[in-house]
A and B are shown apart, each in its own frame.
Chain A
Amino acid sequence: MTILIADDDPLMILLLSLAFQRAGFATCVALDVVQATQIINRQRVDAVVLDMSMPGGTGADLIHRLRMFKRTVRVPVVVVSGTVEDDARQQLLEMGADAFFPKPPKVEELIASVHRLIGMNRPAPASGATTNHGA
């Protein structure tokens, strides 16, 4: 299983990469929306964990692109962001994000959430997250 981490913050990339790798996932990293789009076009990813504000576009742009194509329309998307305004969070969930975690995320909950979303069961959310499913 491969997780695409789309974030321009090196600290967050390190934290998330290590956490997902230790949980048995492969990871790939995009530092901006353009790189993320290239990776999505080139290879299969099983879930995307993205920041809301990135160079070359926003997390919302990336969600929009993922939801446009049959191949990626069902790829789970988890937003991890320092922007915690309810409106912005709700807007992302309406656009097709599956879960939202404030920065810094509780990594165990984040990984559990990704596991569940990949399993497509999409049950009740982890306590720290806002999700589109369950709750």
Chain B
Amino acid sequence: MTTLDNIIDTEQFLRTTSRDRELISELMFIFQRELPALEAQFTNALRQGDFPAIEQTVHKVKGSLLMFGARCVSLAGSVELDAKRGGAPSFPELCEDLKTEAARVIPALEALLKAGEL
């Protein structure tokens, strides 16, 4: 498995998008546009300890990650579940991991596009 395979399940993403490059570009454009606002909402909610807001934001991010076949979707699921339960001892670390992993998605997709794999 290559580094990019560790980030994106390419087969799943191609199945979802039927290998439509125009659609893939549009989806990436929207995700790039939406992600900073979602990240800001997430950071604010974390700072305030607002678990319902964290859950809601992560649910949205999870939907996007699912769309792109991002492997960190399971991490988003864990954060969402922990937020629903009002947090857990490892919650801050999980949230940081999710931010880091989610930020790797678009660069990975761009690299896959450039390599002709999408």
**Contact-size category for B:** 10 to 19
* Residues 14-48 (chain B) with a chain A CB within 8 angstroms: 15-18, 20, 23, 26-27, 30-31, 34
Is A9 within 8 A of B60, CB to CB? yes
**Contact-size category for A:** 10 to 19
Contacts of B31 in A (CB 8 A): 11
Is B59 within 8 A of A104, CB to CB? no
Is A15 within 8 A of B16, CB to CB? yes
- Which of B63-71, B94-102, B110-118 makes up part of the contact surface? B63-71
**Across the two chains, which residue of chain B brings its CB closest to A51?**
B63
Interface 1/0 per residue, B53-78 and A, CB below 8 Å: 00000011011101100000000000
Q: Which of B18, B59, B63, B66 contacts A107 (CB 8 A)?
A: B18
Contact A11-B16, Cβ < 8 Å, known A82-B62, A82-B66: no
Contact A82-B59, Cβ < 8 Å, known A12-B67, A14-B27, A15-B16: yes
**Across the two chains, which residue of chain B brings its CB closest to A14?**
B26
**Across the two chains, which residue of chain B brings its CB closest to A107?**
B18
Contact A9-B26, Cβ < 8 Å, known A15-B16, A104-B16, A107-B16: no
Interface 1/0 per residue, A78-120 and B, CB below 8 Å: 0000100000000000000000000111111000000000000
Interface 1/0 per residue, B4-21 and A, CB below 8 Å: 000000001001111010
A and B contact pairs by CB, cutoff 8 A, 14 listed? A9-B64, A11-B63, A12-B63, A14-B23, A14-B30, A15-B17, A15-B23, A15-B27, A18-B23, A53-B59, A82-B59, A82-B62, A103-B63, A104-B16
Interface residues of B (CB under 8 A from A): 12, 15-18, 20, 23, 26-27, 30-31, 34, 59-60, 62-64, 66-67
Interface residues of A (CB under 8 A from B): 8-12, 14-15, 18-19, 53, 82, 103-108
Across chains A and B, which 9 residue pairs bring their CB atoms closest together, nearest first?
A104-B16, A9-B63, A11-B67, A104-B67, A10-B30, A103-B66, A104-B66, A82-B63, A11-B27
